[in-house]
């Protein structure tokens, strides 16, 4: 299949590699030149810009940071779209903005899907991402051969916008997990409990969750955790903060009480103020550790 990819960041570049390795002809574009050259080195073709990518491709995937970025990419693509082409947005953006992009693309005769992803950079590299799809079932059938190249699970959630809502649900839960994991880790550490022992207990108990399994926010406890690897991001603090802003915006527009989400967002703000924005979002644990040290002085 002729597949396009716009946005070769930490997620997009490994997703593109999986597409090439699965035998697709992949045309790419990105904001900066180095990732395009990296993609060309493993077999992708330089499309120049989003319009060139859309022109060359049956299915074009977008993976960019924000709602305005997605709208800008769609603006550039629109003149090249027609019946038979499918645009798939794998970014995490506002559900209301996403619904607008569905309408704009569908007016050209092309099809549009949102397919925000979960699984982080590890899932992108391994081709095991979970995709939460909003849009028509027919468009998903057409795009599925491309999407399967970098996914382990593709779920059709419903119509326009609901895939993004599902992704925001996922991320607000994950963020709340991380805050609770941080607080529990600090409590155990202050009591003199070996955090490896705590990890063994929690993963076999009712507290078990992804944050506990992968992101104890103390150095040296879990070898693969960001805390043990200079807080290298699997998912950046700035991006989690952006996603919680989207969730809070959606909640406010629909009269939904997102109390834990608002609390975690405050802690993420503190992490950003401390300069942890481009570190893994588990760096919010450093904020909790710092507050604990201050209160014990």
| Residues with catalytic function | 167
What stretches of the chain adopt beta strand conformation (E)? Answer: 2-6, 25-29, 45-46, 59-62, 86-89, 111-114, 117-118, 129-134, 151-158
Positive/negative CA dihedral, 124, 129, 132, 133:
positive
Cβ atoms of 265 and 287 closer than 8 Å: no
Cβ atoms of 100 and 129 closer than 8 Å: no
- Token digits of residue 48: 């120049």
**Distance of alpha carbon 132 from alpha carbon 269, whole angstroms:** 27
> Which helix (H) or strand (E) segment is 266 a member of?
helix 259-273
- Token digits of residue 2: 């002729």
């Amino acid at each position: 299949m002729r597949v396009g990819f716009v946005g070769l960041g930490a997620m997009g570049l490994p997703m593109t590699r999986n597409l090439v390795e699965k035998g697709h002809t992949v045309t790419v574009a990105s904001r900066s030149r180095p990732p395009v050259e990296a993609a060309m080195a493993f077999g992708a073709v330089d499309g120049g810009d989003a319009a060139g990518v859309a022109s060359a491709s049956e299915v074009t995937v977008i993976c960019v940071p924000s709602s305005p970025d997605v709208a800008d990419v769609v603006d550039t693509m629109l003149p090249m779209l027609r019946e038979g082409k499918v645009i798939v947005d794998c970014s995490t953006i506002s559900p209301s903005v996403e619904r607008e992009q569905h309408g704009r693309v569908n007016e050209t005769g092309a099809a549009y899907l949102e397919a925000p992803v979960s699984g982080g950079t590890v899932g992108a590299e391994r081709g095991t991402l979970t995709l939460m799809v909003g849009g028509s079932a027919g468009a998903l059938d057409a795009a599925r051969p491309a999407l399967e190249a970098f996914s382990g699970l593709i779920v059709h959630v419903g119509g326009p916008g609901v895939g993004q809502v599902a992704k925001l649900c996922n991320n607000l839960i994950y963020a709340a997990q991380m805050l609770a994991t941080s607080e529990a880790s600090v409590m155990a550490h202050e009591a003199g409990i070996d955090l490896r022992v705590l990890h063994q207990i929690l993963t076999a108990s009712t507290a078990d969750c992804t944050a506990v399994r992968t992101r104890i926010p103390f150095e040296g406890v879990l070898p693969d955790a960001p805390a043990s690897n200079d807080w290298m991001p699997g998912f950046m603090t700035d991006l989690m903060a952006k996603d919680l802003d989207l969730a809070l915006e959606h909640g406010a527009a629909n009269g939904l009480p997102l109390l834990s989400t608002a609390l975690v967002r405050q802690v993420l703000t503190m992490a950003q103020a401390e300069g942890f924005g481009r570190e893994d979002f588990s760096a919010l644990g450093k904020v909790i550790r710092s507050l604990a040290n201050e209160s014990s002085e």
